[in-house]
Amino acid sequence: MAKRMQSMDGNTAAAHVAYAFTDVAAIFPITPSSPMAEFIDAWAANGRKNLFGQTVKVVEMQSEGGASGAVHGSLAAGALTTTFTASQGLLLMIPNMYKIAGELLPGVFHVSARAVAGHALSIFGDHTDVMATRQTGFALLASGGVQEVMDLAAIAHLSAIKSRIPFLHFFDGFRTSHEIQKIEVLDYEDLGKLLDIEAVKTFRRNALNPEHPVIRGTAQNPDIYFQAKESANRFYEVVPDVVAEYMKEISKLTGREYKPFNYYGAPDAEHVIIAMGSVTDTAEETVDYLLSKGEKVGLIKVHLYRPFSAKYFFDVLPKTVKRIAVLDRSKEPGALGEPLYEDVKALFYGKENAPLIVGGRYGLGSKDTTPSQIKAVFDNLKVENPKDHFTIGIVDDVTGTSLEVKEVIHTTPEGTIRCKFWGFGSDGTVGANKNAIKIIGDNTDYYAQGYFAYDSKKSGGVTISHLRFGKKPIKSTYLIDEADFVACHKQSYVHQYDLLKGLKKGGTFLLNTNWEGKELEKNLPANMKRYIAENDIHFYTINATKIAKEIGLGGRINMIMQAAFFKLINVMDIDQAVDLLKKAVIKTYGKKGEDIVKMNHEAIDKGISSLVKIDVPDSWKNAVDEKVEEKEKPEFIKKILEPMNKQEGDDLPVSAFVGREDGSFPLGTAAYEKRGVAVEVPEWIADKCIQCNQCSFVCPHSAIRPFLLNEEEMAKAPEGYSTKKAIGGKKFEGLQFRIQVSVLDCTGCGNCIDVCPSDALVMKPIETQMDEAKNWEFSETISEKKDLLPLTTVKGSQFSKPLFEFSGACAGCGETPYIKVATQLYGDRMIIANATGCSSIWGASAPSIPYTTNAEGKGPAWANSLFEDNAEYGFGMAIAVKHIRERIAELMNELLSFDLPEDIKAPFQEWL
Ligand code: SF4
Ligand code: SF4
């Protein structure tokens, strides 16, 4: 049968195979695994059939604990059952995992491995979650890339059925779960042929059934529990052979060779890395590079991690190996080493001439691991006393664990086209790039890879798409460090980020901008001009924002930029590209009506015809940087927030977090961001305003506020700072009222305009309102006058400074106005227990903290525990505070019984 190649991500690949072998899926969503369950659910809704000719029964439970309970019950009753999870979700499944394994039930868990929240939440990838399940009795199978996910997902299901041991199949969260690759799709007919149908029948016969009942899950005493546990050993002993056999079958079917441990590199290698997961692809690329330099190096890719088979390990390890570096993507504080390292060490214990073995950590929370870092690991093996317990990818200047990258290497195979896109969250850039990969991957002989990096804003943040195309399968599982093409979809980014870092000499830069001619010359930063001129960059501009507006697409510039990309990148005939883009538009927007389709088709045509090639003058080589006046800022802002916001957080050393080891961050940092993300912002029309303060009440970002100025303050107001006589009774006499917009914090959501009862606000392009930034700075110096009206009224509450401002929540968020008003009422006395979810992301995404303090330095003390335990977490806080207060009251009462001066007694009595 001809190979079916298709572009998809790791989650889709796992779901495709899982569906075939699944009768029942019990699910609960958790990032980054959720798409797997969503696909299964959608396919079941469409009536897709599994290998047994039935549609999968999908049940969504109330938590991961519930999902694993349902998996256990469903398996016990004879249905092949699957689930999908990650991180804390997997940890919630652990109690049932012991049960499932203990009862030899062949369930399969597909896990997009993710960090487990500790000092901070991380939704990104590492193996900490999977490592916490080592003892459960599940077999653990690791995939390194999207194709492997497809292939090894099948091995997991087939082996579970045959061996009766449940399998946990894992791959790296985001790096693999969300990376799009052009891969071969396994056919259900082929998979069906590999299924051990007799084992399936045995499994079903063994199910709980009143026709032939058994009792399972007894309570056992010290007399037999231990022996009964050991009686299952023989089932584990055969797992490596079962897996190896199925790997051979899949290898025959696909031509891709799989073993419990795969070796890659020189047959006479002296230095070898051992690792599992997506880093193994990067390591393969690095091994190729080093082999080409004549080095004797290699790599062992661990697929079957549990049961850990010495036999299969030694089958592939070259006899010549003298030194080994083991890489773990997890951290086990206090252990002698990380799990894989300890396993490898144990393999060699007592062996003669055992190689020297060192271990290190990499990639926690999706930290990128590059070929240069892998080379540093090999370099470490070359020195007389290699560093043990090292780290790569960070600079640890506190405990000195990190390996220095002495040489930056580029290992991407010749002919690979690498493209980077700087987009603005929700502008459609990521969607457009996913589309581009599918068009190129599915319609040319190019392999394609897409990976998408986001910042921590709920929307309106920066997105960076990394796309690679090449004639060979792409193994570069790291961010693009050397690009052929860079596109910037938002003009203001030229001042915020180092967009051209890594753009190669002679590369192409496409900028969406409304600057033309002299204005472009004036506005481009000098360092960018120098880079373009010195590196012979082909520089193009397009005014996609204007085109999108004219066509009627609003802010959706994605189709225009995508068409421009196809025109410039030249991976396929442009007429064919246009045709495919237009077909994709019909597929995506067809149901939304002809007008939408027409608009997008026009966008494609204009994206191609409106490109402007800039003739770069030689004078740009000598462009001089403008002097920027440095404002007074706290150390945290200068040393942590600003580098992170410039996308340079990866360069922060460990010492930057000394004093913050417990994860504590300061309040009020969001106020320093001044993102300026709105295209249009409200302008206040004083004459029409009735001073109701409703605009301020509904603003999700606290970016529009009423201010009351006394005479003294009025005297200091900057020019053009319009106010009107304050109304509201006697207390307001002598005061002037003003509504002030913080244009650089506004997201342009329009909520304030919608609610204003007297048309006193109108949307204006942000460029016309930039003077308001200065006015905002002045308004912030005005004293708070919150005692003039009751705080419990809409108008009165808004004269109180919100202790929650400028969050990265989505524009128009419906949650944040509530928390904002709560802080206006009693933020100086709040402790917040915040469940994990949307509100923990807009509430505390480092480094941007919207919770802030009043003039006395008081404000909400905020903390987040987990997702499912927040009521209990908050309850714990409440009982602790109550208990401590009771003790204070006891002490005060005791003191009051003494003869104390009145001025000491009075505050005690008041407090009591
Ligand atoms: S447009 Fe939205 S974010 Fe901007 S001030 Fe109005 S309500 Fe606030
Ligand atoms: S909602 Fe309109 S009328 Fe009311 S304070 Fe705001 S701008 Fe003035």
- Note the pLDDT tens digit of each residue in 165-194: 999 999 999 999 999 999 999 999 999 999
Residue 538's beta-bridge partner residues? 508
Whether 610 and 721 share a structural domain: no
pLDDT above 90 for 333: yes
**425 band by pLDDT with thresholds 50, 70 and 90:** confident
Angle between helices 544-551 and 594-609 (to 10 degrees): 150
CB 710 within 8 A of CB 735: yes
CB 497 within 8 A of CB 646: yes
pLDDT above 60 for 763: yes
Rounded to whole angstroms, the Cα distance separating 181 from 722 reads 57
Q: Does residue 703 line the site of ligand 1, with CB under 6 A? A: yes
Among candidate residues 190, 214, 245, the one where a domain is terminated:
245
Query: Which CATH number belongs to the domain containing residue 591 in this structure?
Result: 3.40.920.10
CB neighbour list of residue 692: distance below 8 Å, 6 or more residues apart: 757, 794, 795
Residue whose Cα lies nearest atom 6 of ligand 2: it is 695
Residue whose Cα lies nearest atom 3 of ligand 1: it is 746
Whether 269 and 241 share a structural domain: no
Whether 777 and 890 share a structural domain: no
| Tokens standing for residue 861 | 């003390």
631 falls within a domain: no
543 falls within a domain: yes
Whether 284 and 346 share a structural domain: yes
Among candidate residues 622, 646, 680, the one where a domain is terminated:
622
The CA-based dihedral angle spanning residues 545, 550, 552, 558, taken in that order and rounded to the nearest 10 degrees: -30
Give Cα 706 distance to the centre of its chain: 37
**Cα of 698 to ligand 1 centre, how many Å?**
8
401 falls within a domain: no
Query: Which CATH number belongs to the domain containing residue 72 in this structure?
Result: 3.40.50.970
Question: Could you identify the atom of ligand 1 that is nearest to the CA of residue 749?
Answer: 2
Among candidate residues 344, 375, 391, the one where a domain is terminated:
391
Query: Which CATH number belongs to the domain containing residue 292 in this structure?
Result: 3.40.50.920
pLDDT above 80 for 2: no
Whether 218 and 336 share a structural domain: no
Nearest partner of 338 among 348, 326, 351, judged by Cα: 326
Whether 94 and 232 share a structural domain: yes
**3 band by pLDDT with thresholds 50, 70 and 90:** confident
The CA-based dihedral angle spanning residues 828, 833, 835, 837, taken in that order and rounded to the nearest 10 degrees: 30
Percent of the chain surpassing pLDDT 90: 90
**428 band by pLDDT with thresholds 50, 70 and 90:** confident
**DSSP type of residue 632:** P
Question: Which residue from 681, 685, 690 has its CB within 8 A of the most atoms of ligand 2, so it is best to mutate?
Answer: 690
Rounded to whole angstroms, the Cα distance separating 256 from 147 reads 10
Percent of the chain surpassing pLDDT 70: 100
Q: Does residue 750 line the site of ligand 1, with CB under 6 A? A: yes
Rounded to whole angstroms, the Cα distance separating 743 from 745 reads 5
Question: Could you identify the atom of ligand 1 that is nearest to the CA of residue 750?
Answer: 1
665 falls within a domain: no
CB 545 within 8 A of CB 515: no
CA distances from 849 to 307, 480, 664, 776, 804 (A): 44, 30, 11, 20, 9
Provide the mean pLDDT of the chain: 95
606 falls within a domain: yes
584-626 pLDDT tens trace: 899 888 888 999 999 999 999 999 999 999 999 999 999 998 8
Q: How many helices (H) and strands (E) does the chain have?
A: 34, 29
481 falls within a domain: yes
Residue with tokens 């299924």: 195
**Cα of 744 to ligand 1 centre, how many Å?**
11
Whether 801 and 886 share a structural domain: no
The sheet carrying 447-454 orders its strands as: 5-9, 180-184, 447-454, 462-470, 417-424, 483-488, 503-512, 538-542, 612-613
Question: Could you identify the atom of ligand 2 that is nearest to the CA of residue 691?
Answer: 5
Whether 563 and 677 share a structural domain: no
**571 band by pLDDT with thresholds 50, 70 and 90:** confident
How many residues are there in the chain? 912
Whether 25 and 154 share a structural domain: yes
Query: Which CATH number belongs to the domain containing residue 761 in this structure?
Result: 3.30.70.20
510-534 pLDDT tens trace: 999 999 999 999 999 999 999 999 9
Whether 63 and 162 share a structural domain: yes
Whether 371 and 297 share a structural domain: yes
Rounded to whole angstroms, the Cα distance separating 156 from 144 reads 14
Number of compact structural domains in the chain: 5
- The two beta strands, 139-142 and 167-172, are parallel
Domain, as residue range, for 165: 5-245
Whether 224 and 264 share a structural domain: no
Q: Is the dihedral angle over the CA atoms 882, 887, 890, 895 positive or is it negative?
A: negative
CB 95 within 8 A of CB 345: no
CB 446 within 8 A of CB 440: yes
CA distance from start to end of the chain: 83
Query: What residues line ligand 2, using a CB cutoff of 6 Å?
Result: 684, 689-695, 739, 755-758, 760-761
| Tokens standing for residue 256 | 């891709």
Q: What is the pLDDT of residue 868?
A: 86
200-242 pLDDT tens trace: 999 999 999 999 999 999 999 999 999 999 999 999 999 999 9
Q: What is the pLDDT of residue 356?
A: 98
824 falls within a domain: no
CB 655 within 8 A of CB 793: no
Q: What is the pLDDT of residue 1?
A: 57
| Tokens standing for residue 710 | 């006394």
766 falls within a domain: yes
Nearest partner of 578 among 593, 556, 560, judged by Cα: 560
639-650 pLDDT tens trace: 999 999 999 999
CB 827 within 8 A of CB 859: yes
